[in-house]
């Protein structure tokens, strides 16, 4: 079987040998020109003088462009047409592109860009959440609000009540390959663009707008990226548009890549949040009423901030059933980089809020935080074995008349057994979506047992009593993450499959490869459908000329969408071949089987290559397009109600840490993870994604700190000043397991998305640090994120004072 088995990444050998070709590695034609932006040096103000004469006079400079020189649309926004490629009179953040240098080499362009003489009338920038609130600087007229029940009345009548506030920092994407683009002018005004982008169709759209041509005059190709994490969903627009405009002007190929410092200064980050909360709960720790107020620092332009903030609201419940809740979201405009998509897309910030609440409730009641979490979980979905007369396989009761309809909506076939999933009682999220697939009760039970959670908590307590300086902490946090684009029309994908007369298979689809192994998984789908080995399938670059109108490779949907589209294309070709062979053998086409490198028909086994030759010589079409649209999703973002997600992916992590209470130095000692990938397409790739996601999430919340000075300059703009986790920061003991189950929704072979959900497993590391700090005194630690050594040391000092 080609799927559900571990297979190596298709480009693994190329990665480790350095032979993998990225955008900057593409051989360029003679005479290729190179570009660099001239950047604003202030955060807010008006340009009074722009002297570009020294730039034009610099060695190798061919042209210098300002906003007035652009032929058509001066905009690179993915959403609101509020992000000019080049500033006109006003500038809005330090690092905003003001002019574009076209030169004979990369270094000449960069050097020349620093020679401009720009005078400004400076204004006081809005840099913080507090600044934006004071100025009422927003992207919407007022806050967006989700309501369920009556949170106000529930809070008034609560047995216990807590109010608090904390901050969550942003995060730099720090992809290994920086942004890069190459534009090649073609005949008749057409343009070919090679991009390092998660969204080739958006690049096609923005380049076409900038050149004043239809989209069919622009072709965008993406073979691979050296990491993306959401940072290449929209932020690559500027480079590609700049290259295309310059290529049209000069009639020469144009290339652009950011230096690492420029990349960090120019591009957006994960959104910084402040979360205020007011929670009421009973003596056992059950939440009876809750208000969240989320403040998102969005930066100077809208970019993708509205859907990011929406998803933070959508994940404010995480794994917990909240009967009376009010969620308020403020989308604040500041004079900083335009923040953008980042793995989890706002979901992590929402989850951190509710996990902080659960921790503080447990501390107030003197309970194990795990007990409080379990108590507030959504009800478990139950599973009955229809084939065995309704015997219980998992938690819950046997089927009855009230849930018999689930046999058609949620049943899955495994061999001769049919599992019927029952509703857990109609529990809904704060946005009105029914939760019918909740499995965290069983998952938590298994993880608690496998990680030896309870015995280790006792050992941690003993350790902390005996050690006055070094303290340990242990925490378990769950994940319930919704899978689908919340902009409903993006939940679609296309594919193109060719089978050549020698039996080799050519595969193209709308997803992009950024190291996550998407191409390998989708190739496994094609190989499985045709019953051939994986090496028979050729994976080709994502190309808007082959598959049109693609959605971004984002929202953890790459395998779900593109896998199903490829499956549809393969099935169409198989149906044609089966119909032809059935006619030759005078049998039913449904009896034709593709397996083990052959086609079985009427008792005969025909080698796959021979079957393809026969079909070709009898003029059977061996090429097909496939299309897939996610069913059952409907979302009204204005009302804040509907079913934005096709299903939920689940996971849980237990993390143990140790801290030095005097210096704040800390280490992750052990992490135990149980993650739900459904019936995994490729366990090896999925476990790799889980490990990487956990480390990236823990890095965001424990060490990755973005710092701006009072003038709006990003001071952490290089590896020397911005710390990401390295190999030595991974847990000394790192146990990762996949949950033994399949998706109850009809996804590709019942697998589940595994791109974004694992990042939120890293929340357990932040909670474990808070648990360790709490050993220093009786008060709650009130730990902000990232929990840097400085913050940990100060929190320990506060508790001891």
Q: Which residues are catalytic?
A: 756
Phi, psi of 267, deg, nearest 5 = -90, 160
The residues facing 192 across adjacent strands are 184, 219
The C-alpha atoms of residue 123 and residue 42 are separated, in whole angstroms, by 9
Burial of 545 (0-12, 13-18, 19+ CB in 10 A): middle
The C-alpha atoms of residue 586 and residue 596 are separated, in whole angstroms, by 23
Q: Which long-range contacts (CB under 8 A, 24 or more apart) does 616-623 make?
A: 616/501, 618/580, 620/576, 620/577, 620/580, 621/573, 621/576, 622/498, 622/499, 622/500, 622/501, 622/573, 622/576, 622/577, 623/496, 623/497, 623/498, 623/499, 623/573
3-state secondary structure of 322: coil
Distance of CA 260 to the CA centre of its chain: 22
Q: What is the torsional sign of CA 497, 498, 504, 506?
A: negative
- Give the 3-state secondary structure of 330-384: EEEECCCCCCCCCCCCCHHHHHHHHHHHHHHHHHHHCCCHHHHHHHHECCCCEEE
- Give the 3-state secondary structure of 143-179: CEEEEECCHHHHHHCCCEEEEEEEEECCECCCCCCCC
Nearby residues of 546 by Cβ (< 8 Å), 6 or more positions away: 496, 508, 540
Closest CA to 531 of 608, 585, 613, 606: 608
- Per DSSP bridges, beta strands 287-299 and 325-333 are parallel
Contact at 8 Å (CB) between 778 and 652?
no
The residues facing 419 across adjacent strands are 385, 412
Which two three-digit tokens encode residue 646? 């096709």
CA neighbours closer than 13 Å in the CB half-sphere of residue 552: 31
Phi, psi of 328, deg, nearest 5 = -115, 130
The C-alpha atoms of residue 439 and residue 639 are separated, in whole angstroms, by 28
Other Cβ atoms less than 10 A from the Cβ of 8: the count is 13
Q: What is the torsional sign of CA 652, 6, 485, 647?
A: negative
Q: Torsion over CA of 430, 433, 437 and 442, rounded to 10 degrees? A: 0
The C-alpha atoms of residue 575 and residue 605 are separated, in whole angstroms, by 17
CA neighbours closer than 13 Å in the CB half-sphere of residue 428: 15
Nearby residues of 758 by Cβ (< 8 Å), 6 or more positions away: 479, 651, 673, 675, 689, 690, 691, 692, 693, 694, 697
Distance of CA 338 to the CA centre of its chain: 17
3-state secondary structure of 584: helix
The C-alpha atoms of residue 29 and residue 194 are separated, in whole angstroms, by 13
Closest CA to 656 of 442, 494, 422, 476: 476
Nearby residues of 355 by Cβ (< 8 Å), 6 or more positions away: 318, 477, 763, 767
């Amino acid at each position: 079987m080609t799927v559900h088995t571990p297979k190596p990444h298709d480009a693994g050998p190329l990665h480790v040998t350095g032979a993998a070709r990225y955008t900057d590695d593409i051989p360029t034609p003679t005479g290729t020109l190179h570009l660099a932006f001239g950047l604003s040096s202030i955060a807010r103000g008006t340009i009074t003088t722009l002297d570009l004469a020294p730039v034009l006079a610099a060695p190798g400079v061919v042209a210098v462009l300002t906003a007035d020189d652009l032929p058509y649309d001066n905009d690179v926004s993915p959403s609101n047409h509020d992000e000019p490629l080049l500033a006109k009179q006003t500038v809005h953040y330090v690092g905003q592109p003001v002019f574009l240098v076209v030169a004979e080499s990369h270094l000449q362009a960069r050097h020349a860009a620093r020679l401009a003489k720009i005078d400004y009338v400076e204004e006081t920038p809005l840099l913080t959440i507090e600044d934006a609130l004071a100025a009422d600087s927003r992207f919407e007229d007022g806050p967006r609000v989700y309501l369920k029940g009556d949170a106000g009345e529930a809070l008034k009548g609560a047995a216990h009540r807590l109010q608090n506030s904390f901050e969550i920092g942003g995060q730099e994407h720090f992809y290994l390959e920086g942004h890069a683009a190459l534009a090649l002018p073609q005949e008749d005004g057409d343009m070919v663009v090679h991009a390092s982008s998660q969204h080739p169709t958006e690049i096609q759209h923005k380049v076409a707008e900038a050149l004043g041509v239809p989209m069919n005059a622009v072709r965008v190709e993406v073979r691979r990226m050296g990491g993306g994490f959401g940072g290449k969903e929209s932020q690559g627009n500027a480079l590609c548009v700049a290259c295309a405009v310059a290529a049209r002007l000069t009639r020469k190929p144009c290339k652009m890549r950011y230096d690492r410092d420029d990349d960090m200064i120019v591009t957006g980050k994960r959104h910084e949040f402040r979360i205020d909360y007011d929670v009421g709960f009973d003596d056992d720790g059950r939440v009876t009423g809750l208000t969240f107020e989320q403040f998102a620092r969005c930066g100077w332009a809208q970019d993708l901030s509205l859907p990011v903030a929406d998803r933070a609201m959508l994940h404010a419940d995480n794994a917990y059933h909240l009967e009376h809740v009010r969620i308020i979201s403020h989308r604040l405009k500041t004079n900083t980089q335009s923040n953008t998509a980042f793995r989890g897309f706002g979901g992590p910030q929402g989850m951190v809020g509710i996990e902080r609440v659960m921790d503080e409730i447990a501390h107030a009641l003197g309970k194990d935080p795990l007990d409080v979490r379990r108590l507030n979980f959504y009800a478990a979905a139950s599973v009955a074995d229809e084939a065995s007369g309704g015997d219980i396989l998992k938690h819950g009761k046997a089927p009855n008349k009230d849930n018999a309809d689930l046999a058609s909506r949620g049943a899955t076939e495994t061999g001769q057994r049919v599992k019927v999933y029952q509703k857990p009682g109609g529990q809904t999220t704060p946005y009105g979506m029914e939760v019918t697939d909740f499995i965290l009760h069983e998952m938590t039970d298994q993880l608690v047992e496998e990680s030896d959670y309870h015995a280790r908590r006792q050992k941690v307590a003993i350790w902390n009593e005996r050690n006055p300086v070094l303290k340990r902490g242990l925490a378990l946090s769950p994940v319930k993450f919704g899978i689908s684009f919340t902009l409903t029309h993006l939940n679609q994908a296309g594919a193109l499959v060719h089978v050549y007369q020698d039996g080799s298979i050519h595969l193209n689809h709308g997803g992009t490869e950024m190291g996550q192994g998407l191409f390998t998984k989708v190739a496994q789908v094609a190989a499985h459908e045709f019953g051939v080995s994986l090496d028979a399938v050729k994976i080709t670059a994502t190309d808007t000329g082959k598959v049109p109108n693609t959605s971004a490779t984002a929202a953890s949907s790459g395998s779900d969408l593109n896998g199903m589209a490829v499956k549809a294309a393969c099935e169409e070709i198989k149906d044609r071949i089966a119909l032809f062979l059935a006619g030759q053998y005078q049998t039913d086409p449904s009896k034709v089987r593709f397996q083990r490198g052959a086609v079985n028909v009427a008792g005969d086994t025909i080698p796959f290559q021979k079957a393809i030759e026969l079909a070709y010589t009898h003029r059977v079409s061996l090429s097909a397009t496939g299309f897939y649209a996610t069913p059952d999703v409907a979302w009204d973002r204005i009302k804040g109600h509907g079913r934005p997600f096709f299903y939920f992916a689940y996971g849980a992590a237990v993390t143990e840490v140790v801290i030095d209470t005097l210096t704040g130095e800390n280490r992750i000692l052990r992490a135990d993870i149980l993650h739900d990938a459904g019936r995994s397409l490729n366990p090896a790739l999925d476990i790799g994604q889980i490990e990487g996601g956990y480390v990236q999430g823990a890095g965001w919340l424990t060490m990755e700190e973005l710092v701006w000075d009072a003038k709006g300059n990003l001071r952490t703009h290089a590896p020397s000043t911005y710390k990401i986790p390295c190999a030595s920061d991974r847990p000394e003991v790192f146990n990762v397991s996949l949950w033994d189950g399949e998706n109850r929704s009809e996804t590709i072979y019942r697998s589940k998305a595994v791109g974004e959900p694992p990042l939120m497993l890293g929340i357990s590391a932040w909670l474990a640090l808070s648990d360790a700090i709490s050993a220093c005194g009786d008060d709650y630690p009130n730990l902000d994120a990232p929990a840097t050594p400085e913050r940990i040391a100060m929190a320990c000092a506060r508790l001891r004072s």
